[in-house]
């Protein structure tokens, strides 16, 4: 230790944490890890020490990757800076320039942008086709196809993917499969257990659960996830330790939150189906014996004035995300699906009256009353 104030002020606060048994994992908010000598440093490269530099690995991000892998029944997982970067490294772990990917039309708008507009610059060709008909999927497989990509419950129209069908087609043609399980969460659906190679999450949503973190996780077989981890390190799409810690804290209450979320969503969907001023209700069926998810989409194009509806929602706010504990609404036409070509919007049903409701964990009667009131005020 140096003797001068300036040196002491920098070094004095350092404390060894080795013998402190904290109940929860501490936040390793550090960009790098220290070494006593060259032999100690070399021990990292020999696999005897786990951590060197946070972009390369960090206890909090590793904890998040492992936690989601366990919940999905997969051997390995990696945390990333966002759901989209998890999708990117997942794709790049199985496809390279010259390869082709087949993806479903009704995926999250940001994923559509990534697949349709960005991957082309990596030399990866993408076809976006209707997954409702397995024959259409099969007919679009090319010689250079490597991956089939879809969502377990699609955003925002909540089509439930037939995972078995997708896996069967992929196995027949020797292709990889990757499924975004963000909406269902492993509480309702475990695509890896059903034979999917890579499962991806926007942990920004239900895993984090409190709308205070942007994060992604990719899980799957050891070998594929190892490739994706290398991409994370080399591209720099690592997650910050604090965000990983927040997401891990969220996961601890995933089960209890989801139980309430899905009960409330079912009750709201039932109430809206019976409301004559709602043109259409999108709410999945038969997702899991535990429930059908917590997103309900409605179309009120013909029956209500859209602006008045949004203004009449009271405590339910417009938020361009989902899966927080608070009930919120979003407007896909001007947010998540804004950049889609008009024909794609029309084909998908992204209309001017489509509203995506993320049902929270508040009192069920209050949630239903908020929507019934907004409909009553805005009905034409």
**Smallest separation (angstroms) from ligand PLP to the CB of 303:** 27
**Smallest separation (angstroms) from ligand PLP to the CB of 109:** 8
**Smallest separation (angstroms) from ligand PLP to the CB of 124:** 18
Nearer to ligand PLP, 203 or 375 (CB): 203
The count of other CB atoms within 10 Å of the CB of residue 14 is 9
Helices (H), 141-218: 163-172, 185-188
**Smallest separation (angstroms) from ligand PLP to the CB of 337:** 11
H/E run at residue 219: strand 216-220
Q: Which residues pair with 333 in a beta bridge?
A: none
Nearer to ligand PLP, 151 or 161 (CB): 151
Nearer to ligand PLP, 250 or 312 (CB): 250
CB burial of residue 361 (10 Å; 0-12, 13-18, 19+): buried
**Smallest separation (angstroms) from ligand PLP to the CB of 349:** 17
Nearer to ligand PLP, 207 or 268 (CB): 207
The sheet with strand 295-299 has its strands ordered as 280-282, 295-299, 354-358, 328-330, 317-318
* CA atoms lying within 13 Å on the CB side of residue 357: 31
Interacting residues with ligand PLP (CB under 6 A):
82-84, 108, 110-111, 151, 155, 180, 182-183, 202, 204, 214, 216
Start-to-end Cα distance in the chain: 76
**Smallest separation (angstroms) from ligand PLP to the CB of 240:** 13
Q: Which residues pair with 151 in a beta bridge?
A: 180
Nearer to ligand PLP, 102 or 207 (CB): 207
Q: Which residue is nearest to ligand PLP (CB)?
A: 83
Q: What is the Cα gyration radius of the chain?
A: 23
How far, in whole angstroms, is CA 335 from its chain's centroid? 17
Nearer to ligand PLP, 105 or 378 (CB): 105
């Amino acid at each position: 230790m140096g003797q001068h104030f300036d040196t002491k002020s920098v070094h004095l606060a350092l404390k060894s944490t080795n013998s402190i048994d904290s109940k929860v994992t501490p936040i390793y908010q550090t960009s790098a890890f220290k070494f006593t000598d060259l032999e100690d440093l070399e021990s990292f490269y020999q696999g005897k020490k786990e951590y060197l530099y946070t972009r390369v690995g960090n206890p909090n991000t590793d904890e998040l990757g492992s936690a989601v892998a366990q919940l999905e029944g997969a051997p390995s997982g990696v945390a990333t800076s966002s759901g989209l970067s998890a999708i990117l490294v997942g794709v790049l772990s199985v496809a390279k320039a010259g390869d082709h990917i087949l993806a479903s039309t009704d995926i999250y708008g940001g994923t559509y942008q990534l697949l349709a507009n960005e991957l082309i610059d990596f030399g990866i060709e993408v076809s976006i086709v209707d997954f409702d008909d397995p024959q259409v999927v099969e007919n679009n497989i090319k010689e250079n196809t490597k991956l089939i990509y879809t969502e377990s419950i699609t955003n925002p129209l909540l089509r439930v993917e037939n995972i078995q069908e997708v896996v069967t087609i992929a196995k027949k043609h020797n292709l990889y499969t990757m499924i975004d399980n963000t909406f269902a969460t492993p509480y309702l659906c475990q695509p890896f257990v059903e034979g999917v190679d890579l499962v991806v999450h926007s942990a920004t949503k239900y895993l984090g659960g409190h709308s205070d973190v942007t994060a992604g996780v990719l899980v799957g077989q050891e070998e594929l996830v190892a490739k994706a981890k290398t991409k994370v390190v080399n591209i720099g799409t690592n997650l910050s330790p604090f965000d990983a810690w927040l997401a891990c804290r969220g996961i601890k209450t995933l089960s209890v939150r989801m139980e309430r979320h899905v009960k409330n969503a079912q009750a709201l969907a039932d109430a809206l189906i019976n409301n004559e001023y709602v043109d259409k209700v999108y709410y999945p069926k038969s997702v899991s014996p535990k429930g059908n998810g917590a997103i309900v989409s409605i179309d009120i194009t013909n029956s209500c004035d859209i602006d008045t509806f949004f203004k009449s929602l009271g405590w339910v706010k417009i938020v361009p995300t989902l899966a927080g504990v608070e009930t919120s609404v979003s407007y896909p036409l001007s947010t998540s699906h804004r950049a889609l070509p008009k024909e794609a919007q029309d084909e998908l049903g992204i209309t001017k009256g489509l509203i995506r409701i993320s049902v929270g964990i508040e009192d069920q009667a209050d949630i239903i009353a908020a929507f019934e009131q907004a409909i009553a005020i805005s009905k034409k």
